[in-house]
Each structure stands twice: as structure tokens, then as C-alpha cells.
A and B are shown apart, each in its own frame.
Chain A
Amino acid sequence: MITKSLMPLIGKAGAIFLAMLLLVCLAVPSLNLIVPISSPLHLPDYAVTLLGKYMCYALLALSVDLVWGFCGILSLGHGAFFALGGYAMGMYMMRQIGSRGSYGNAELPDFMVFLNWKSLPWYWHGFESFPFALAMVALVPGLLALVFGWFAFRSRVTGVYLSIITQAMTYALLLAFFRNDMGFGGNNGLTDFKDILGYSVQAAGTRAVLFMLSCLALGVCFVLARMIVNSKFGRVVISIRDAESRVRFLGYRVENYKLFIFVASAIMAGVAGALYVPQVGIINPSEFSPANSIEAVIWTAFGGRGTLWGAALGAIVVNAAKSWFTGVLPNAWLYALGALFVGVTLFMPKGLAGAFAGWTSVKRNQPEDVSAMEPAE
């Protein structure tokens, strides 16, 4: 019954995507934990972490797709929201280390002891509480997006100008977080995590749970994003993408629509970052680097923007290729990535999703989804 009411919302492709996601979400932990090590089907621990990382990237790509594919805002700074969510989670886990750090200081993280700080800076207070940290995971990126977007959209900064200033934003944050005085561990960032909610981050069980949570977050955000774009609100957003001035002339407050989508997307990126950090075990300023953000955009473009599930798929495929290349042909990866940027924009404007849609429409000779059609600039 619920599936019936959900079907028009998520579409056929979306349903397949969710089903696959559910399958992976259940299969990966069972292959890792239940299947014995001797069996050829056994999945090693590192693979679970790696796949969990892909899931977080997929959520980041989904958030980029929400603003770019549906609202036409090409953000080259979504990595900043991802990293901020990651730092919020990292701060919680730093506080959980307590007196087990190298300096054995129960109050201060190691790097602060090293820098000879006497007390915890004010903005670190509260992060010992998990609910507080979770709130910050959503609030900090959301607030940054709100302030930044409010300024940008109100004064009608659009197109490449907006892309450039989002890039400048993440670059400014990159430089800021590199500073030791900021109190976020400078160059080294936050690392040496011990446990999360009392469970060791190294344990296979914790990793499996984190993986499942990442899949869950991806699934929930996918459904939420579909709900947003399929609502009347979402239709206005799509029209803004296609003809911003006309929508404005029709009397809609374009900046408010853009702002909502931008903030929602930033929060999703923050959640992705928060799930990413416990799995990889480190967060440092390089996550803010503009190259990361622009890479997330190409995952989205490769998967097919304006479809949401395509973006997630693109992130997983590109990152799997990256893992494979860096293992087998480390020097060739940048060539491949560069060629991907050029090839996708030239030959696959609709990405992987477009290719799939092409197959199905050949069979049934009809487009599958309104929102997947013709995402213009």
C-alpha cells in the first residue's frame, strides 16, 4: 500500500535504485560478518569501509544534483558543507577520546595540548554530547548555506559568477582550517578516533552499522529529495532552472525558492560528511579543497543530473574506477578523470541515467520522467 502511494513519487528508476540500495545495504554486512573468512564470498573489512565511503560520496553527489540538476545552481563549494558536517562529527569523536590520547589529557584533544592551550575554546563545548553533535552536523552547513545563499541569491548572482564565489568560499575555508589558531587541528585535522557512542570505530560490527546507516541516509535523502522536486514547490524550482526571469515575472520570489533548495542540499552534504568521517577515521582541511567539490560535480554529471539516483550511481561508479585506477595504474587516473570531464560534457550530457533512459525509451518509445528531461542551464 505504502509502495503504491510512493510509486509515482519516486518513479520506476527510483524504485529500482532503492531496491538495489536495500540489497547492497543488507548483503554487504552479511557477506562481511556472517560468511566465514575462508569462504570466497567473504567480504574483507576494508571493502566494507570503502563501500561505505562510496555511499557517503553518493549522498554528496545527490545533494549536488538537487541544486544543480533541479535549480541550475552549479555549486563548486559543496565539499565545504561535506567537510563541515565531517568536522562536527570529528569534534564529537575527539571529545570521546578523553584521557586515552597520547598526552592523557581528559579535557583537551592532543593537538591542543601540543599547542599549549590551557582550556577548551568555546566552540568546542557541547560536542561531548552526541545529540548536540548531530544537531551541529545539520546546523553548521545549513547555516553557512543560509547566510551565503541569502547574500548571493538576493543580489541575483547567477551562473558562472555564483560558481566562482562558491569556489572562493570553500577555498577561504580551506585556508582558514589550515591555521592552527582556528582550533581544528590545523594541517593534520582531527584523527586518532577511538569510539563512537561507546562502540570502537575499528570494530567490524561498528563499521557494518556505519555502512548500513550510510545506505539508509542515502535512501532517506533520495526519497526526501524526490518529495521536494515532485511537489508544487519543486515544479517552481525546476522552472527557475529553465527560465529564472520568467518565474520572477510571474510573481514568485525566486531567491526564497533557491535558498530553500540550497540549504536543504547543504544539510544533506553535511550528513554525508558526518557519516564519512567515522568510516575513514580522519578529517583534515584538504576536504575543503576546491578540486574535491568540482569532482563531486562531475560524479553528478557522469551519473546524469536531474535524476538524483543517477548522481548517486555516478559517484559510486567514478569512485570505484578511481580506487581501481590508483591501485593498478596510479599515473593514469588523472588522465582518465580529465577525459571523463571532457567526454561526459561533450558526449553524455544526460550521463549514465540518460543512457539507461535511452534503452527503455527505445523499447517503450516514451520518456520516463518529466524531471529527467532536458535539464537546461
Chain B
Amino acid sequence: MNTLKRLLFAATFLLLSLSASYAQDAGALVDALAQGSFAERGAAIANLVGSGSPAAVPVLQALSDGNLYVRMADNKVFIVRDDGDNFKLLDPTTGADAGGADKGGFDKIKVNNALREQISNAKGGLTLLSGDAKTRKDALLNILKSGDASALPALEKAIGTEKDPAILALMKSAAAAATLKSDRPESEKLAAIETLGKISDRDTVSLLSAYADTVDGVLKAHAQDAADRIATSLSSWAVVQNIWYGLSLASVLLLAAIGLAITFGVMGVINMAHGEMVMLGAYTTYVTQLLFKAYVPSLAGYSLIAAIPAAFAVSGLMGIAIERGIIRFLYGRPLETLLATWGVSLILQQGVRSIFGPTNKDVTTPSWMSGSIDLNGGLSLTMNRIAILIFACVVFAALMVLMKRSSIGLQMRAVTQNRPMANAMGIRSSRVDALTFGLGSGIAGLAGVALSQIDNVSPNLGQNYIIDSFLVVVFGGVGNLWGTLAGALTLGIANKFLEPFAGAVLAKIFILIAVILFIQKKPRGLFALKGRWVDA
């Protein structure tokens, strides 16, 4: 009986709102807001919403903000701006300026909390018809999460007109979520559960299992079943997600560590200023962006492309300068090189801090690199991470070709394997040293370009990656680029698989301990260079 009454009420309500949209013009609908009790005002809001009038959103916004007033003389409603002594009037249906007036002749249209909630829900429904795809999508996600039954009529209306297939699918899911909480018959609800069962994300699981707790019988069984199914598929997606995050971290580690591996391999020195080369690359990206904005604003989106050679050049030249200025005098004293380059890193950090200030610099992500690819299972691959992964692969491949196919690469490998013999064969090892250092630093600069997209560009940028890079190199073994690749992949993926169980900090500690223990087993890394030496 009761259900019947409510159904009847809903039907009349729907009919009323439909007829209202045809019979009355928007102005009259808006004026109706000023009349009667709160309950009648609620009905008037529903009418206005049902009319689908474009005026509804600003009017409702004004109403909930307390900017909607009625002129007492003729009961006309206006949106007002408080202009000091007077009100500036705006026509509610067109938004046009309707002159000014004295405050005295106006009365504020009051709302209570129930009405505010109705307004906010109704606005959600109205934005479904908005011309902007992103606004529609946001509104849908909101409904999907809350499963708000009052949005159902608006949703069904919007489904009829929606053209975008992605949004249409989302709308159907949202309508299903809303159906569960509405008074629709069981068959419709079962269909809704079916629809929802195809979405795999955590919100849907909680929506469905919460729903299963409130009902009995077939519905409960179906809802619980669907929730369980999604949860199972989610947990297998979590593995995929971990691998993806791991790959993403590995690509960053690879970029940061590979330059270090080359210099360490060829020269046997640890460059503690390597992190600062990364930092310089990131700042070069920032400066390039500023220059593009200032001189060629039309191409600002492509400043990142220009930053790649620029960062390579800046960091590479700085690397050559360090090698020529400091490191070549410390040949054969690797530990002292370590200290001297640490000093260089302090100077570079402070230098950048003096020039650019200690605060983070904002490097904008170009539009072609922002956004993400959403996969089923709530996994979204952000474009910038994908770009960095591809970039890391390209850099690695290019370096591989350089090392294996070019004459300088051949010389580098020769010096890595046996420096005195390479000298005897006529290779100028000092020139190779300088070029190697420049190359390693230049690649660090490239890492800086990549990191500027995902991390804060600050003077401490390099410090955050240097220890991880060392571990990658030490783990992978020197003088072998494949070792570095294996090290970066292992550490990156292991880190991300440990994180869900142990938390980010503990995961990192585990990795550090694991590497320390690993070094005991293989003191020269995973891919140790074979050679006939006793003391390195």
C-alpha cells in the first residue's frame, strides 16, 4: 500500500515536472521559488530542475549562496550582487543586468538544510546535461560513489541524449547505482547489480557490499556475489598495478643510475655530484620553459622537447668541467675523488639555491603529456609516467648502440676492461675519461628532464635519488649496462611489491638491507666484469 502511494507520488511528480517544462516558461518557474513554505519551495525547485532550463544552475547556486531575492512589489525574483548601499540586479533567466535598486524593497529567499541538500543533488543532475564532457563526467563519478537515488530521473533523461560512448557507459553505471537505492522493482535492481558487477573498482565493491547488508533474499545474494567477484578481480589487478608502479620507479632509477654506472665502470670513481647533474637537468628544463614562455609562447608546449638536448649539454659540459678541473688530478685515488665530488655537489646545490632560491620551481606538464589511460580495475596509467618509461627505454637503447657500435664506445669499453692495455693500443685514456664523464653527466641531465615532470624541482632533487642510484649500480655490477637495467628493474619492482605490506619507509629499509646482504654474496654486483686482477 505504502509503496503504491510512493510510486504514485513519484509518477505524479515526474508528470508534473515534465508538464511543467512544457507549460511554463523559466521565468515563472523561478518566480515560484519565492512563494510558500519550505516544502512548497522544494517542489518549486524540483519543477525548475525538471524543466531542464539552462537558467536552473545559476539560480540554484544563487539560492544556496543566499543571493536570490524577491522584489516585494511584484514578487519578481532576482539574483543580486551586494553593491554597498544598493543591490545590483541580474535577471535570473538570462543573467542580463537588470539595473540597481534600493535594498529596502527586497526580501531574501530562505533555504533550510533539507533544501540545500536537494539543491546540491539537483545540481548534480543538471550538470549531467552540461555541454562540457568533463563536468558531466565529474557529476557522474559523484553519483556513482554516493548512489544518490534522487538523481535517477535526471540520469535517465541524460542517457537518452548522451552521444559520447564512454560517458554513456558511465551514465548507465551511475543509473544502476542510483537504481539500487531507489524504489524501482526488483527486476530492475537485479539488472542494476548486473551492470555494476562489470565495473571493477573499490568504490563499487563497497557500494555493493553495503547494499547487500541492507536487503535480503535474491538481491542480497546477487549483490554479495557481484561484490566478491569484483574484489577477486581487483586483487589480481593489484599485482598488475604493482608491476606498473615498479616499472615506473625502475625507469626513473635507470635514468638516474645509468650515467653513474658508466663513469664508475670506466673510471672506477664514484661521482657524488651525480645527483646534482640530475638537478641541473631539471633546472635547465625549468629555464627552457621560461625562455619559451617569454619568446615563443605559441610553442610553449614543446619546451620539454627542447629541454632534452639543452639539459644534456648543460650537465654534460659541467661533467667535463669537473673531470678536467678536479677528477683527473685524483687519478688512482677513488676514495678522494668521492670526497672531492661531494664537495662539488655541495657547491652546486648552494649555487642553485642562490640563483633560483630554495623553493620548489614549477615545471608545467605539457598538455600532450598530461592525462591518463584508465584501464579496467581502477588502474590508471598516467601519461607522464608512460612517457618517462618510453624515454628511459630510448635512452638505454641509444646508449647501448653508442657503446657497441661507435668508436668512442669501443674505446670506453676497452678502458673499462684494461686501462694500461688500452693505453698501449694507442687509446688516449684521458680523452676517454673526459668524454665518459661528460656522457654520464649528460645522461643524468636527461634524467633531470624526466624527473622535473614527476618530482619537485628543488636544489635537493638530486639528493633524493643519489643513494638509490648507487645501490642500483652496486647491485647491477659495474661496466655492464645490462646489469644496471637488471638492478633498476629488480629494485624498482621489489620496492613497489613490498610497499603495500610494509609501508613505503619500511620497504625502502628492507631493500637497503637486502642490497647490503647481496653485496656480501656478490661483492662485484650481479653482472661482475670478469678479469684477471687481484686488487681493483
- Interface, chain A (partner B; CB < 8 A): 74, 148, 151-152, 154-161, 163-165, 167-169, 171-172, 175-176, 178-179, 243-245, 290, 294, 297-298, 301, 331, 334-335, 337-346, 349, 377
Among A74, A175, A245, A349, contact of B509 (Cβ-Cβ < 8 Å): A175
A161/B523 in contact, CB under 8 A: yes
Task: Decide yes or no whether B467 CB sits under 8 A from chain A.
Answer: yes
0/1 interface trace, chain B 445-470, chain A, CB 8 Å (1 if under)? 00000000000000000000001001
B346/A341 in contact, CB under 8 A: yes
B470/A164 in contact, CB under 8 A: yes
A338/B345 in contact, CB under 8 A: yes
User: Given the complex of chains A and B, what is the CA–CA distance between A331 and B352 in angstroms?
Assistant: 12
User: Given the complex of chains A and B, what is the CA–CA distance between A294 and B336 in angstroms?
Assistant: 12
Task: Decide yes or no whether B343 CB sits under 8 A from chain A.
Answer: yes
- A290 and B519 contact, Cβ closer than 8 Å, known pairs A297-B339, A335-B347, A337-B343: no
18 sampled A-B residue pairs with Cβ under 8 A: A154-B520, A155-B521, A160-B338, A164-B470, A164-B471, A175-B512, A301-B336, A331-B353, A335-B346, A335-B350, A337-B346, A338-B344, A338-B345, A339-B347, A341-B339, A342-B326, A342-B344, A345-B339
Among B329, B474, B512, contact of A171 (Cβ-Cβ < 8 Å): B512
Contacts of B332 in A (CB 8 A): 377
A172/B509 in contact, CB under 8 A: yes
Instruction: Quote the shortest CB–CB distance from B470 to chain A (angstroms).
Output: 5
User: Given the complex of chains A and B, what is the CA–CA distance between A346 and B339 in angstroms?
Assistant: 10
A338/B346 in contact, CB under 8 A: yes
- A168 and B470 contact, Cβ closer than 8 Å, known pairs A341-B346, A345-B339: yes
A157/B519 in contact, CB under 8 A: yes
User: Given the complex of chains A and B, what is the CA–CA distance between A161 and B522 in angstroms?
Assistant: 11
A244/B535 in contact, CB under 8 A: yes
B338/A338 in contact, CB under 8 A: no
Task: Decide yes or no whether B508 CB sits under 8 A from chain A.
Answer: yes
Instruction: Quote the shortest CB–CB distance from B272 to chain A (angstroms).
Output: 8
0/1 interface trace, chain B 514-530, chain A, CB 8 Å (1 if under)? 01110111011000000
Residue of B nearest to A337 (CB): B346
- A171 and B330 contact, Cβ closer than 8 Å, known pairs A163-B335, A294-B339: no
Contacts of B428 in A (CB 8 A): none
Task: Decide yes or no whether B400 CB sits under 8 A from chain A.
Answer: no
Contacts of A243 in B (CB 8 A): 535
Among B339, B345, B354, contact of A301 (Cβ-Cβ < 8 Å): B339
User: Given the complex of chains A and B, what is the CA–CA distance between A156 and B528 in angstroms?
Assistant: 14
Contacts of B208 in A (CB 8 A): none
User: Given the complex of chains A and B, what is the CA–CA distance between A155 and B474 in angstroms?
Assistant: 15
User: Given the complex of chains A and B, what is the CA–CA distance between A343 and B474 in angstroms?
Assistant: 28
User: Given the complex of chains A and B, what is the CA–CA distance between A345 and B333 in angstroms?
Assistant: 10
User: Given the complex of chains A and B, what is the CA–CA distance between A298 and B345 in angstroms?
Assistant: 14
- A341 and B343 contact, Cβ closer than 8 Å, known pairs A179-B506, A245-B534: yes
User: Given the complex of chains A and B, what is the CA–CA distance between A334 and B474 in angstroms?
Assistant: 28
User: Given the complex of chains A and B, what is the CA–CA distance between A175 and B513 in angstroms?
Assistant: 12
Residue of A nearest to B533 (CB): A245
B343/A340 in contact, CB under 8 A: yes
Q: Which has the most chain B C-beta neighbours within 10 Å: A152, A161, A179?
A: A161
Contacts of B425 in A (CB 8 A): none
Residue of A nearest to B470 (CB): A164
B336/A345 in contact, CB under 8 A: yes
Instruction: Quote the shortest CB–CB distance from B392 to chain A (angstroms).
Output: 23
Residue of B nearest to A331 (CB): B354
Contacts of B521 in A (CB 8 A): 155
Q: Which has the most chain A C-beta neighbours within 10 Å: B339, B345, B349?
A: B339
Contacts of A152 in B (CB 8 A): 519-520
User: Given the complex of chains A and B, what is the CA–CA distance between A167 and B342 in angstroms?
Assistant: 13
A339/B343 in contact, CB under 8 A: yes
- A345 and B340 contact, Cβ closer than 8 Å, known pairs A161-B474, A168-B515, A377-B334: yes
Task: Decide yes or no whether B375 CB sits under 8 A from chain A.
Answer: no
Chain B contact residues: over half helix, strand or loop, or mixed? Answer: helix
Contacts of B345 in A (CB 8 A): 338
- A346 and B330 contact, Cβ closer than 8 Å, known pairs A175-B508, A245-B535: yes
Chain A contact residues: over half helix, strand or loop, or mixed? Answer: helix
A346/B340 in contact, CB under 8 A: yes
Contacts of B39 in A (CB 8 A): none
Instruction: Quote the shortest CB–CB distance from A266 to chain B (angstroms).
Output: 16
0/1 interface trace, chain B 361-399, chain A, CB 8 Å (1 if under)? 000000000000000000000000000000000000000
- A338 and B347 contact, Cβ closer than 8 Å, known pairs A157-B520, A346-B326: yes
A171/B339 in contact, CB under 8 A: no
Residue of A nearest to B273 (CB): A338
A74/B519 in contact, CB under 8 A: no
User: Given the complex of chains A and B, what is the CA–CA distance between A218 and B264 in angstroms?
Assistant: 38
Task: Decide yes or no whether B270 CB sits under 8 A from chain A.
Answer: yes
Residue of A nearest to B351 (CB): A335
Task: Decide yes or no whether B536 CB sits under 8 A from chain A.
Answer: yes
Residue of A nearest to B329 (CB): A346
Contacts of A159 in B (CB 8 A): 334-335, 536
Contacts of A344 in B (CB 8 A): 339
Residue of B nearest to A244 (CB): B535
8 closest Cβ pairs, A-B complex: A341-B343, A338-B346, A338-B347, A334-B350, A172-B512, A345-B340, A342-B343, A338-B343
User: Given the complex of chains A and B, what is the CA–CA distance between A209 and B47 in angstroms?
Assistant: 85
Residue of B nearest to A169 (CB): B516
User: Given the complex of chains A and B, what is the CA–CA distance between A168 and B509 in angstroms?
Assistant: 9
B519/A161 in contact, CB under 8 A: yes
B336/A165 in contact, CB under 8 A: no
User: Given the complex of chains A and B, what is the CA–CA distance between A152 and B340 in angstroms?
Assistant: 25
User: Given the complex of chains A and B, what is the CA–CA distance between A298 and B338 in angstroms?
Assistant: 11
Interface residue ranges of B451-510 to A (CB < 8 Å): 467, 470-471, 474, 505-506, 508-509
- A345 and B519 contact, Cβ closer than 8 Å, known pairs A168-B471, A335-B350: no
B339/A334 in contact, CB under 8 A: no
User: Given the complex of chains A and B, what is the CA–CA distance between A141 and B468 in angstroms?
Assistant: 25
B270/A163 in contact, CB under 8 A: yes
0/1 interface trace, chain B 261-274, chain A, CB 8 Å (1 if under)? 00010001110000
B347/A334 in contact, CB under 8 A: yes
- A164 and B270 contact, Cβ closer than 8 Å, known pairs A338-B343, A341-B340: yes
Contacts of B351 in A (CB 8 A): 335
Contacts of B264 in A (CB 8 A): 160
0/1 interface trace, chain B 175-209, chain A, CB 8 Å (1 if under)? 00000000000000000000000000000000000
A179/B505 in contact, CB under 8 A: yes
A377/B333 in contact, CB under 8 A: yes
Contacts of B516 in A (CB 8 A): 148, 151, 165, 168-169, 172
User: Given the complex of chains A and B, what is the CA–CA distance between A244 and B521 in angstroms?
Assistant: 20
Contacts of B343 in A (CB 8 A): 298, 337-343, 345
User: Given the complex of chains A and B, what is the CA–CA distance between A343 and B347 in angstroms?
Assistant: 12
Among A74, A155, A340, A345, contact of B330 (Cβ-Cβ < 8 Å): A345
Contacts of B337 in A (CB 8 A): 345
Among B342, B506, B508, contact of A341 (Cβ-Cβ < 8 Å): B342
Contacts of B333 in A (CB 8 A): 345, 377
Contacts of A341 in B (CB 8 A): 339-340, 342-344, 346
Instruction: Quote the shortest CB–CB distance from B337 to chain A (angstroms).
Output: 8
Contacts of A163 in B (CB 8 A): 270, 335, 338
Residue of A nearest to B516 (CB): A165
Given contacts A168-B471, A168-B516, A169-B512, 7 further A-B contacts (CB under 8 A): A151-B520, A245-B534, A298-B339, A339-B347, A344-B339, A345-B333, A345-B340
Instruction: Quote the shortest CB–CB distance from B428 to chain A (angstroms).
Output: 23
Among A155, A160, A340, contact of B520 (Cβ-Cβ < 8 Å): A155
User: Given the complex of chains A and B, what is the CA–CA distance between A148 and B515 in angstroms?
Assistant: 13
Q: Which has the most chain B C-beta neighbours within 10 Å: A172, A179, A331?
A: A172
User: Given the complex of chains A and B, what is the CA–CA distance between A5 and B158 in angstroms?
Assistant: 100
User: Given the complex of chains A and B, what is the CA–CA distance between A171 and B268 in angstroms?
Assistant: 23
Contacts of B505 in A (CB 8 A): 175-176, 178-179
